Amino acid sequence: MPNWCSTSYRIEGNPETLKKIYDAITHHDVQEDSSENWEGNVLISLGITWQDRTSDVEGGKYLRGFIQEEPSLGEDVLEFYAEEAWGVSDFGEILEENFPDIKVYFCGEEPNMEYFVTNDSTGKYFHCRAIVDCCINNEYYYEEFNSIEAAYQWIYDKTSCKTIEDIENFGTDPDDTSDNFINIYEYKIVK
């Protein structure tokens, strides 16, 4: 069973193309032996073919994701959410290759694998660049930050930690019976 990456998508571009993709997401045929919400059904409905990387085809695409909710179509952006196996799939890349009048932005999170990625380098849709998941003095926090520096500053302000080494050692004292811990996750900017 895979670890599931929660991926949020924002697609901007030609309104007619966005409507076409929206219609394919909301009304598509289901291929035999596939899940109704499989991203591949959407591509097939759009008339797009691709080579599946999982069958060891050189240059193939990885497509193991499932759209999880009804998309939202605005005037100039299409939004939806998917669960994808182990990481962000090639769904957005395949759409961009077939519709040059769109830009696909995504943000993928799989905390168990410490996998946090986005291709939104300017933060147009996805501003978060770091997450702090921690317990300090038996109080739990899950905080999002626009920079890793802001995350460190928040930790420094909340704890006695003054260095990254202090943060790494926080909660490791064997005499400490609290649940104290600090996990910092930084988003990787990908293409």
- Measure the CA–CA gap between 42 and 22, rounded to whole angstroms: 9
How sure is the predictor about 181, in pLDDT bands with cuts at 50, 70 and 90? very high
CATH fold of 4-118 reads: Alpha-Beta Plaits (3.30.70)
Q: pTM of the full predicted structure?
A: 0.89
pLDDT at 185 over 70: yes
Domain layout of the chain by residue ranges: 4-118, 130-189
pLDDT digits (tens, 9 = 90+) for 139-162: 999 999 999 999 999 999 999 898
Average pLDDT taken over every residue of the chain: 92
* 75-110: burial string, b at 16+ Cβ within 10 Å, e else: eebbbbebbbbebbbbbbbbbeebbeebbbbbbbbb
